[in-house]
A and B are shown apart, each in its own frame.
Chain A
Amino acid sequence: MTRPLLYGAAIFMAALFVAPFVWTLLTAVKTEAELYTFPPSFLPETWRWENFHTAWTKLPFTTFLTNSTIVVVLSTVGQLFSSSLVAFGFARFRFPGRDVLFVVVLASMMIPWDVKMIPLYMQFNFLGWINTLKPLIVPAWFGEAFFIFLLRQYIMSVPMEIDEAARMDGANSWQLYWRIHLPLMLPALVLVGTFQFMNAWNDYLGPLIFLNDQSKYTLTLGLSMFKGLHGQDFISIAAITVVLCLPPLVLFFFAQRYIMDSALGSSVKG
């Protein structure tokens, strides 16, 4: 295969994937009037950068940012720890009922949220967690099926001989998990961190259902307030969307190198 061809494909795909973002950015700096010209203009006539500031101050977005940050950080830490622990348990041990339990893990992803919502609400209400950030954080500390499955698959592609060697050196199960497997699954953990971060950051239904008070709102809930029943504030939506994309993008840019930085590919010497 020729390199130029690969570069061409990469650039074409990149353009395709970046287009929506560019479009959002261009919308964010347009004027209201320009938004409704037909056919739509591509570049804004005047670049109204102040739209970002205007949108941000229309609602207490700084408060929303604080809440989102709390939820994202705490839930991501919890998810990384708990799902790797559970995945290790499923991947590296044999115990009665394991395979049945694992099917239950998978099955727990398959019921749509619509019908789980009311019972969950009752439960959190009973616990006094409604209108707090807890419903958005605590469940992440108990491992989510999607991530457990992902990490289990990853651990199962790590050769058993690594475990054997560590056991021979006297490592117990915890040390095996903590010292050997956790570092080895770094690429997969970066994925779990990224996905959990994005899920929590972009979650709309959870905050909508479980939070009442504006002082508790997260960024997406704030964003949704630009959308009413009979119309929406396109420019503010676009501006906040662009701002919302940036923190995860920057973080992802720095984290993604670790996806490639696998100790495994080179560690196993035949």
Chain B
Amino acid sequence: MTKYASTALSVALAGLLPAALAAQEEGTLRLATWDDEESLEIIESIAAAFEAAHPGTDVQIEAYGDGYDTKLSAAMGAGNAPDVMYMWNFPAYAASLMPLNDFIERDGAEMDIDDISPALLDVSRIDGNVYGMPAGFTTHVIFYNRDLLEEAGVAEPEAGWTWSDLREKAAAASDPENQVYGFAVDARPDPYDFEQFYWSNGTQFISDDGTEIDGYMNSPEGAEVLNMFADMIASGEAVALNIGDDVSGSALFRGGNLAMFEGAMWNKGGIDESGIDYGIVGLPAFEGKPVKSAINSSAVSISADTDNPELAWDFVKFFSSPEAVAMRVNDLPVRASVAAETGQADDPMLAPFFEMLEVSEGTSPAFLKHEDWARMQENLSAAIEATMIEGGNAQAHLDDAVRRSARFLR
């Protein structure tokens, strides 16, 4: 009823005051982010540039740090979502987001949408609807400490390497007595990221149509991945993370206690600051199989109930424009043109990220395939943790996870 009333009112107003139409794209835009203090400046400068280009608009930045999901779900649940927001968990929020297909169709050419990696757009697509425009991304790579590898007398890793190469180097570099470790295995990884190892070993968590996990989550290839990591811990090649303390792999690497570590763009800034002499290489492959990486993208989405969709879309367009993409220095550019122009694509310290993006096209993360994936994933996490603590026996733990998840697939 309110909606009709306000529509009627605005029609009446528009009739009375034609000038009001011209002012349609003015106003305040609420923009919610998960940025912390360090990365907030970047988004503030992008917003300022947008305001400068759109006189009369005011972008109100709402930064919630790691309380982002709690805040967003409260606001959305109560029907008071911000106009524009950072987004990655599309399945959970899609019902409250505005599909952007029509906008993209209208403005795609102007935006040069083909410049944006299709792999990144895939992550924000559900049932053919695009719910967010990618603004930045990262893939996963291996950081290695040059000095530690040299001390151990092993060669630096090169693109195209395998897990057995990594294990050899890790074994050589490991010196637990002196608190130096070859590699770090997270006993409680984010399953979203962990699926890259499943993909790389030729399997996945859940079938393409999202109806089966038996034979996927607990496939022999999956168990092989878990057992390999557990074995690396047991043999002393790797240190286990997240069993009894919250020391992170990046902290150990920054402290010079870790020869190699699997990480993403969000780790790079801190490592640069630490002054460690390090290199970056793509993820290792499983013998004879193509390597894949998880893709973590930050996209911006528009609330389905925004009062000002055109202005919101203008902002989203601006956010993924070459100008704004170039301003985001804390993650990687979603536009090939920007990557080429800034020389990032050829920078040996960044190129592996782009290579990983290229080889990972066509992967489809589990959470896009089943609405109860978040619950099933909890059982998978438990299986991974149990395998790492026990030092193996992955098949039994994974079978158990599948059994406990079965009720969601009925």
Are A228 and B36 within 8 A (Cβ)? Answer: yes
Q: How many residues of B contact A (CB 8 A)?
A: 41
Q: Is B67 an interface residue (CB 8 A)?
A: yes
Q: Is B57 an interface residue (CB 8 A)?
A: no
Residues facing B in A224-264 (CB within 8 A) are 224-233, 236
Residues facing B in A119-171 (CB within 8 A) are 119, 121-122, 125, 130
Are A228 and B78 within 8 A (Cβ)? Answer: no
Q: Is A117 an interface residue (CB 8 A)?
A: yes
Q: Is B37 an interface residue (CB 8 A)?
A: yes
Q: How many residues of A contact B (CB 8 A)?
A: 33
Are B62 and A233 within 8 A (Cβ)? Answer: no
A204 to B71, CA, bound (A): 11
- Given the known inter-chain contacts A121-B80, A208-B67, A231-B266, please indicate yes or no for A226 contacting B34, CB distance below 8 A: no
Residues facing A in B37-95 (CB within 8 A) are 37-40, 60-68, 70-71, 74-75, 77-80, 82
Are A38 and B61 within 8 A (Cβ)? Answer: no
Contact of A121 among B34, B74, B273, B275 (CB under 8 A): B74
Are B36 and A204 within 8 A (Cβ)? Answer: no
Q: Is B212 an interface residue (CB 8 A)?
A: no
Are B252 and A121 within 8 A (Cβ)? Answer: no
Are A236 and B60 within 8 A (Cβ)? Answer: no
Q: Encode contact with A along B255-296: 1 for CB under 8 Å, 0 otherwise.
A: 101000000101100100111000000000000000000000
Are B251 and A36 within 8 A (Cβ)? Answer: yes
Residues of chain B within 8 A of A175, CB atoms compared:
none
Q: Is B164 an interface residue (CB 8 A)?
A: no
Are A36 and B38 within 8 A (Cβ)? Answer: no
A220 to B147, CA, bound (A): 41
Q: Describe A's contact surface by its main secondary structure.
A: mixed
Are A228 and B38 within 8 A (Cβ)? Answer: yes
Q: Encode contact with B along A210-227: 1 for CB under 8 Å, 0 otherwise.
A: 001110000000001111
Least Cβ–Cβ distance between B297 and chain A, in angstroms: 13
Least Cβ–Cβ distance between A57 and chain B, in angstroms: 11
Residue of B nearest to A215 (CB): B60
A224 to B71, CA, bound (A): 13
Q: Is B254 an interface residue (CB 8 A)?
A: yes
Are B60 and A233 within 8 A (Cβ)? Answer: no
Residues of chain B within 8 A of A59, CB atoms compared:
37
Least Cβ–Cβ distance between B68 and chain A, in angstroms: 8
A231 to B265, CA, bound (A): 12
Which among A33, A58, A205, A225 has the greatest number of chain B C-beta atoms within 10 A? A225
Least Cβ–Cβ distance between A41 and chain B, in angstroms: 11
Q: Is B30 an interface residue (CB 8 A)?
A: yes
Are B70 and A208 within 8 A (Cβ)? Answer: yes
Least Cβ–Cβ distance between B185 and chain A, in angstroms: 18
Are B70 and A233 within 8 A (Cβ)? Answer: no
Are A224 and B65 within 8 A (Cβ)? Answer: yes
Residues of chain B within 8 A of A230, CB atoms compared:
264, 266-267
Contact of A58 among B37, B78, B255 (CB under 8 A): B37
A228 to B269, CA, bound (A): 13
Are B274 and A117 within 8 A (Cβ)? Answer: no
Least Cβ–Cβ distance between B231 and chain A, in angstroms: 24
Q: Could you list some 17 contacts between A and B, CB below 8 A?
A: A33-B274, A38-B257, A59-B37, A118-B74, A204-B67, A208-B70, A212-B30, A212-B62, A213-B60, A214-B61, A226-B65, A227-B65, A228-B38, A228-B39, A229-B66, A233-B38, A236-B37
- A residues near B (Cβ < 8 Å) are 32-33, 36-39, 58-59, 117-119, 121-122, 125, 130, 204-205, 208-209, 212-214, 224-233, 236
